[in-house]
Amino acid sequence: MRALADRERIQGLLEAFGRAARSDLRIYLVGGATAVLLGWRPTTIDVDLVMRPEDDSLLRDIPGLKEALQINVELASPLDFIPVPQGWEDRGKFVMQTGRVGVFHFDLYAQALAQVERGHRQDLADVQEMVTRGLIEPRRAVDYFGRIEPQLFRFPAIDAPTFRRAVQEAFGT
């Protein structure tokens, strides 16, 4: 079993990506990695991320890096779970540049809505931390939901009325 990922381990992974990347790319961190690097959680089980553009060589390196660094890495983002409006890449929050890799936090509003939709206790606590820390504004989160709601049919596992109620509860509207 791999160790939990703290700030140091996550940064070590990102620096390894920077050394391994053979072309310019961006990595967008999601969920627990965002929570750890922004300071409200000390650790996370997985480093969830999405890479743009995808780099086959770096993707092939990930299993070896996971073993060498004893860290869990998952290719997962809100794109896999909810509709995300175009331009999400430009809404990322910059973390660092390492080698040819620019590292960003995935669009925080998309992260928050994906966490609300999932509804796990830790997810909802993360959303409240984002609000408390001023990283997202409740009204804007509700507006963002309004933008994606017409596209929910593309995600048949989501019950739109239940998701809407969860958004209203999470953001106090």
Q: What is the pLDDT of residue 21?
A: 95
What is the reported pTM? 0.95
Q: Which residue has the tokens 């050394």?
A: 19
Q: What is the pLDDT of residue 23?
A: 94
Q: What is the pLDDT of residue 128?
A: 97
DSSP class of residue 151 equals G
Contact predicate 114/81, CB 8 Å: yes
Q: What is the pLDDT of residue 84?
A: 98
From residue 68, how far is each of 36, 42, 114 by CA, in Å? Answer: 21, 21, 31
Q: What is the pLDDT along the chain (173 residues), one digit of tens a residue?
A: 678 999 999 999 999 999 999 999 999 999 999 999 999 999 999 999 999 999 999 999 999 999 999 999 999 999 999 999 999 999 999 999 999 999 999 999 999 999 999 999 999 999 999 999 999 999 999 999 999 999 999 999 999 999 999 999 999 87
Q: What is the pLDDT of residue 1?
A: 64
Residue 49: strand pairing partners:
29, 75
Query: Rounded to an integer, what distance in angstroms lies between the CA atom of residue 66 and that of residue 27?
Result: 16
Per-residue three-class SS string for 71-90: CEEEECCHHHCCCCCCCHHH
Q: What are phi and psi of 86, to 5 degrees?
A: -55, 155
